[in-house]
Amino acid sequence: MLIKRMLHAALLLTFFAVLSGVLVAVSFQMTYQQIKANERAYLLRTLNVLIPYQQYDNDLFTDIREVQNEALLGTDEPVMIYRARQAGQPIAAVLTPVAPDGYNGHIRLLVGINYEGILIGVRVLSHKETPGLGDNIDMRRSNWILGFNGRSLIHPDESGWKVKRDGGIFDQFTSATITARAVVKALHNTLLFFKQSRDEIFAD
């Protein structure tokens, strides 16, 4: 009788352990899918903020290209590029690079660059930076990210593409310099990539 009870208890424990594992896996998958869906919805809204629809006549959501360059785009995964054209001529591109060295991990960015290589807008797609400190990179927290509008590889020059603490021109956040530094570096690298790859980006 004792052995049967022990066997029954062991089976119950095994059942609940397996059930818990399945529930955790399902919960993770559902959460992951929801996060991706939220990121995509935000992406679609933001594309037309960075490139107003009056400036292009193609389908921005289907005129896309995937590229890979871990050194300059911050990830070994393919990076999506949305291409804007007017009467068949390239107008601008929106890239989705990663700042891999944020304080709490990857910072995923949305970077609009016009054909001349000038930043027309930057937004943060996702991050895990510290609330009240590093999350000031998010437009919902502060206007810091707007300070990159109109910047390029020559405005400022290479020495200026750093936070002020490192001798550059860009503001950092109190107690969150690492976050600002990561974004500045990622944007400079994205501009370098665009300069090197512009013809390839807009090739059919």
* Gap between the Cα atoms of 95 and 92, Å rounded: 10
Listed residue (171, 124, 120) closest to 149, CA to CA: 120
Q: Give the whole-angstrom CA distance, residue 180 versus residue 142.
A: 13
**Predicted local confidence at residue 40, as pLDDT:** 72
Name beta bridge partners: 156.
Answer: none
Q: 103 and 135 in contact (C-beta within 8 Å)?
A: no
**pLDDT the model gives residue 103:** 92
Q: What is the block-wise mean pLDDT of the chain (204 residues), using blocks of 10 residues?
A: 65 68 67 76 81 91 94 95 96 97 94 97 92 87 95 97 96 90 97 97 91
**What is the predicted pLDDT for the residue at 25?**
66
Pairing of strands 98-102, 89-95: unpaired
Task: Note whether 180 and 142 are within 8 A (CB).
Answer: no
Q: Are 108 and 125 in contact (CB under 8 A)?
A: yes
